[in-house]
Amino acid sequence: MNATKGYFSLVQFCPDPSRLEAVNVGVVLFCPDANFIAARMTESNARARQFFGPDQVELAGLASAKVAFQKRFEVERQDFRELADLQNFVATRAGNLQLTAPRPVKVFDAEADLQRLFDELVGGKAKERQAAESRIAVDPRLHHAFEKLAKAGRARLDHKVAIPVLERELQVPYAYQNGVWNLVKPHHFAGRPSRIVDAAIVLAGEGDLLQRATAETEEPSQLIVVPSFDADLSGDCVPKRVMGILGAFHIRTVSESDIPKFVKEVQKSAH
């Protein structure tokens, strides 16, 4: 099998760029001749937490960022045609996930070589990583927009709020203020229909308690759910039942097709 020329970059978690301290959390492989670009990310955040300490690492946020980062290459694959495109992407990266300068590598089988680079330079098990990703519903368009807003001080990442009565916290990856604290929670519904319905009821109950308890306070809050479902449920009545349950408790939902419209709304109203 003949080799083609490729390039790889390490994906590093760097919470404080001024300190130049980073932990490898993934790798990107780009092979222009094969029209291939993809990333592999770690399933666990344990190494980052051990290195930086629990106070510096918001694990839920890092997990969301990694999934959004990986999916971004799937969505924007056509934008990477030559080495300069990847170099420009590396140079303009913002946020806690940074990439090293691309290095050349011989590519025989892009998918296999990506996994080999990941195993050698980062570590982790592909099956565990894929299982973890299936539990996290993050759309790269959503994450990219909120990452920019957070840097501008117009939104928050990994926002926590206490749920009255239940005496526990609700953590959401995104939150923004427009007179009300909007808590944006992507949620992937999977498993048996009964399990999905139970999850929807719990989520609806938490959102309802939160909205009613904060309605008369200085910081009223409301939950916004961005639901996603396994592909085999697309023609089922389960998604409609979930939407019905959330709607009955006055929980706003944003469907996948409405994400671009929602992003524009947030960009206009967040402050």
CA 103-108-109 angle, 5° bins = 100
Compute the Cα dihedral for 247, 253, 257, 258 and give only its sign.
positive
Check residue 54 and give its pLDDT.
59
Check residue 131 and give its pLDDT.
40
Q: What would the pLDDT profile of 229-261 be if each residue is shown by its tens digit?
A: 876 665 568 899 999 999 999 999 999 889 999
All domains of the chain in start order, with CATH = 4-134 (no CATH), 140-269 (3.40.1350)
Q: What would the pLDDT profile of 137-175 be if each residue is shown by its tens digit?
A: 567 888 889 989 999 999 998 888 888 777 777 888 899
pTM over 0.75: no
State the Cα torsion 169-238-196-244 to the nearest 10°: 30
pLDDT at 268 over 90: yes
How many residues would you count in the chain? 271
| Beta-carbon contacts of residue 262 (< 8 Å; ≥ 6 apart) | 142, 226, 254
177 DSSP β-pair partners = 181
Check residue 233 and give its pLDDT.
62
Residue 39 structure tokens: 């990333």
Check residue 253 and give its pLDDT.
96
- The percentage of residues in the chain with a pLDDT greater than 70, rounded to a whole number, is 87
